[in-house]
Amino acid sequence: MNSNPFSIVAHSHLRWDFVWQRPQQIFSRLAARHPVLFVEEPMPGEAAPHLRISEPHPGVFRAIPYLPAGGTHDEGSAEVLALTRRALATDPLLANRFTNIVQWFYSPMCAPTMLGNLDEVAVVYDCMDELANFRFAPPDIRAREQLLLRRADVVFAGGLSLHEAKSREHPNAHFFGCGVDVEHFSQARSPHTAVPPALERLPQPVLGYFGVIDERLDYELIAVLAKAYSQGSIVMAGPVAKVDPAELPKHPNIHWLGQQPYSALPALVKGFDVCLMPFALNEATRYINPTKTLEYLAAGKPVVSTAIADVARNFADVVHVAQDYEGFILGVMSALATPDETRIARGIERANRSTWDSTVAAMRGHLLDAVHGRLALAAA
C-alpha cells in the first residue's frame, strides 16, 4: 500500500504549461510527499479516446484527455473518468502510486461525474476565482458548484472576498490567498540578474505587466497610459485568452510580448520601472486576488493598481491603489519621480511573510484533518 497518507487527483480548467500560478505552486510542493495526477480538460478532435500522460515536475503527473469531437460535457467527463480509472490501474507511471485518493477540484464542471467514483477519501474545492463571472462561463456552472460545495470536505478560497462568499455556503472554508516564491522573484533585486536585451533597448521609463491578457484587464486604461507616457514603453507580457488580439490597443509604445516562461519573469520584472495591475472593475474581477501582487513586491518594485477589492483591503499600505484613470496616472508619475523606499521595503517584508511554502504547509494540515476524519469514520 502507498505509504503516503493520501494521493491527489486534481481536476483543472487550466493547463499545466499555461502561466505558472496557484495550481502549479501548490502541487509542485505537495508532490514532494503526495503523488499528484493533474487531469486537464479534454482536447477534442481525436478519433480514439486516450490519455497522454507525462511527468512535468517530480511527482506531478499530467494527464491530457483526447476525445472525439462532439458530445455533451457530461459525456466527455464520463469518458475522462473511464480513462483515468484505467490509467490509475495500468499506466506504468501511475500504477500503485495512487491510494487514499483526494479529489481536488479547481472547476466544478466535472464534479457531478467524478464525485464518488474514484474511491476518494476526501474532496477539496480550491476556489481560486469566481468562474461563473468569467466570459464564456457555462450556464450551469453555479449549479455544479453547489453540488461540489455540498460534497466537499474542505474548501480553500484564493481571495478574502471569495472566502467571505464561500464560507456562507460551507462550514469548513479557509482563506489562503496567493503566496510567492520569494527566492525566485528576489532575483530581480540581484546585481547578477541581467535585464533581457530586448527590454533594455526600449525607451524609458518601462511600465510593465506580466500575467494573462484577458477580459479582466482595462484596455482603455492601458491606452490612456500609453498616451500619457508616449516617450516611454508599456510592456504587456502574457498569453492572450478570451479576447481578440486584433482588438488590443495598438499604440507604438505598447509591446505585447506573449507568454513568458516562469524562469524568465525575475529578469523581466527587473527591467520594469513601475509594475502595473491595470485591472478592469467588472464581474470577472470582483473576487480576484492577483498572484502577481506579491511577486511584484518580492522583486522590490513600486506597484500601481486599480481599486480591486482584495488589493485595496490587503495591500493598500504597499501598493498605490488608484480610484480612477487620473489617479492611476498620478500613481505611476509619483512612483517614477520619487520611489517610496519605505513602501518598497514594507512590500519586500510582506512578501517574505507570505511564501508558498508556508501557505501549502497550512493547506496540507487541513487536508490531513479531512482525510483522517473520513478514514476514521469509515473504520467506525
Cβ–Cβ under 8 Å, residues 222 and 278:
yes
CA 22 to chain centroid, in Å, comes to 4
Instruction: Give percent above pLDDT 90 in the chain.
Output: 86
Find residue 207's DSSP bridge partners.
234, 274
Residue type, 134: F
C-alpha cell at 55: 511527468
C-alpha cell at 269: 520584472
Cβ–Cβ under 8 Å, residues 49 and 87:
no
In the chain, which segments carry CATH 3.40.50.2000?
7-179+355-379, 182-352
Cβ–Cβ under 8 Å, residues 219 and 244:
no
SS3 324: coil
Closest CA relative to residue 4, chosen from 102, 89, 81 = 102
For the entire predicted model, the pTM comes to: 0.90
Closest CA relative to residue 304, chosen from 288, 315, 291 = 315
Closest CA relative to residue 367, chosen from 2, 5, 94 = 5
The CATH code of domain 7-179+355-379 reads 3.40.50.2000
C-alpha cell at 179: 503566496
pLDDT over 80 (residue 46):
no
| Mean pLDDT taken over the chain | 94
Classify domain 182-352 at the CATH topology level.
Answer: Rossmann fold (3.40.50)
Cβ–Cβ under 8 Å, residues 357 and 25:
no
Q: How confident is the model at residue 2 (pLDDT cuts 50, 70, 90)?
A: very low
What's the pLDDT tens digit per position in 318-371? 999 999 999 999 999 999 999 999 999 999 999 999 999 999 999 999 999 999
pLDDT for res 4? 56
Residues, the chain: 380
Per DSSP (E only), the strands in 100-205 are: 101-105, 122-127, 154-157, 173-175
pLDDT for res 352? 97
What's the pLDDT tens digit per position in 208-231? 999 999 999 999 999 999 999 999
